[in-house]
Amino acid sequence: MMRRGLYFILALLLILVVMLLGLQVGSFDTDAATIFSALFHYNPDDTTHFAILHLRLPRLLLALVVGASLAFCGYLMQAMVNNGLADPYLLGTASGASLGAVVVFFGFVPMTVAGLYLPPVFALAGAFLVTLVVVILGYRKRQIIPAQLLLAGIALSSLVTAMVGLFTFLSDSEGKLRSVVFWSMGSFERASWEMVPYPAAALSIALLLFAFYQKQLNILLLGEERAQALGIQVAQTRWVILGTVSVVTGFAVATSGPIGFVGLIIPHVTRGLLGATGRGNLLLCAFIGGLFMLLCDLLSRIIYPPAGLPIGIITSFFGVPFFVYLLFKKNYNFKE
């Protein structure tokens, strides 16, 4: 109990610290005083203030929300299919979103309609569409069969990835290729105040919803039969998880591209800290995911200014060693 509270406070504090650090990194020279005056005495004519409030802050918030979303959804997926190798993209969200974005980048539809930049919109549609097909394929006798769902997800992802590959190969311009490569490795560069509310709202609602479902989630880890014997509506719980994961991951991927590894590792980190069935695991998992993404974004911009390394590269670089450490740590167990 004490320990849990401590972790929450620590995570929150670190998020604040990293955000304050992140606010200082950029092309304009800004010190703590400038940050402070931009936040509390905003002057719309000052371009430095403008950059801090309209470019840096939404970017950090998007990183926070997307990191939290992916970690949270990873946790849900691992609980649902009862397997520590699951991640939020198993439903085909990432490949579907890529297909949607690529369709726009390669000019099958215009880039903008009435001032609305379409790649994220199509990415969202693609993510939902592919997820829907995967769910239909994983559906038997009025319920979701996890093993079948996994296979359907993998198969469909491969198919969609092949389609993206075909478009990429047939591309007639280097610029379009760059867009696709850049998109596929993830970025928060497009973040704006207009964009951040969507993934933030999706995540908030999901967190609220699962405040009531945490117990079911833990019992699900015991296996389908025992969960049923304990009075859990397994089928219903799975539907809630599926719906949540597809919407929350969809928004995360559509706004930032398919960023890997966060959804896989952070749930393990959380369980390593609080145990596999700790109360508040989901919330802490989201916090750590957000913190991790903020750190990765900060690093990417410090290592390779000004554009920053693609965020997916950083998450893998720093995530994988940690993951390996976790695998070899003796007292870590997926279910207990």
Partner 1 sequence: MPGIYTLRRARFILHTILCLLLLSCSQPERQPQEALVLTDDLGRELTLQKKPERVFAFASSMTEMLYAVLDTSTIIARTPTDDYPEAVYRKPLVSNYPVDYEQVLVLKPDLIFTVEGITPLEVAERLQQLGVPVYYQKYRTVEDIFTGIEDIGRIMGREQQSRQLTDSLRQEVASIKARHQKDEPQRVLAITWSDPIYVYGQNTIFTDKLRILGAENAVQEVFEQPYPALTREYVLKLNPDVLLGGTKEELEERFFSLYPELRRIKAYQHNRLYKPDDNLMSRPSPRVVESLRELEGFLYP
Query: Applying CB under 8 A, which part among 90-98, 115-123, 157-165, 201-209 lies near partner 1?
Result: 115-123
Contact indicator for 261, 315 with CB cutoff of 8 Å: yes
- Does residue 26 bind partner 1 (CB under 8 A)? yes
Q: How far is the CB of 221 from partner 1 (least distance, A)?
A: 42
Count of other CB atoms within 10 angstroms of residue 224: 16
Footprint on residues 162-191 left by partner 1 (CB under 8 A): 175, 178-179, 182, 187, 189-190
For tokens 């945490």, the residue is: 214
Pick between residue 29 and residue 225 the one whose CB is nearest to partner 1.
29
Q: Does 54 bind partner 1 (CB under 8 A)?
A: yes
Instruction: Indicate the residue among 117 and 198 with the shorter CB distance to partner 1.
Output: 117
Strands (E), 115-185: 116-117, 139-140, 143-144
Q: Is residue 27 within the footprint of partner 1 (CB under 8 A)?
A: yes
CA gap 289, 64 in Å, rounded? 8
- Of 244, 246, 243, 263, the C-alpha closest to 312 is 263
Count CA within 13 A, CB hemisphere, residue 291.
Answer: 20
For residue 199, is the peptide bond before it cis, meaning its omega torsion is within 30 degrees of 0? no
By beta-carbon proximity to partner 1, the closer residue of 178 and 335 is: 178
φ/ψ of 109, rounded to 5, equals: -135, 155
- For position 46 contacting partner 1 by CB under 8 A, the verdict is no
Query: Of 169 and 328, which has the nearer Cβ to partner 1?
Result: 169
Q: Which CB, 260 or 308, lies closer to partner 1?
A: 308
Which phi and psi angles does 139 have, rounded to 5°? -110, 125
**Shortest Cβ distance from residue 108 to partner 1 (Å)?**
16
Beta pairing partners, 112: 117
Residues 6 or more apart whose Cβ sits within 8 Å of residue 37: 43, 49
Report in angstroms how near the CB of residue 107 gets to partner 1 at its nearest.
Answer: 11
Angle of CA points 320, 251, 145, to nearest 5° = 75
Binds partner 1 (CB under 8 A): choice among 192, 233, 236, 333: 192
**Residue 227 beta carbon to partner 1: minimum distance, rounded to whole angstroms:** 46
Report if residue 56 touches partner 1, rule: CB under 8 A.
yes
Residue 281, both tokens: 């695991």
Both tokens of residue 313? Answer: 């590269």
Q: How far is CA 186 from CA 89, 317, 332, 335, in A?
A: 14, 14, 30, 31
21 binds partner 1 (CB under 8 A): no
Q: With respect to partner 1, which residue has the nearer C-beta, 110 or 231? A: 110
Using CB under 8 A, which of the segments 65-73, 85-93, 256-264, 301-309 binds partner 1?
301-309
Task: For residue 302, state whether it binds partner 1 (rule: CB under 8 A).
Answer: no
Is 55 among the residues that bind partner 1 (CB under 8 A)?
A: yes
The CB-of-22 to partner 1 minimum distance in angstroms stands at: 12
Instruction: Indicate whether 201 belongs to the interface with partner 1 (CB under 8 A).
Output: no
SS3 at position 113: strand
Residues that bind partner 1 (CB under 8 A): 26-28, 47, 50-51, 54-56, 105, 110-112, 115-117, 119, 175, 178-179, 182, 187, 189-190, 192, 306-308
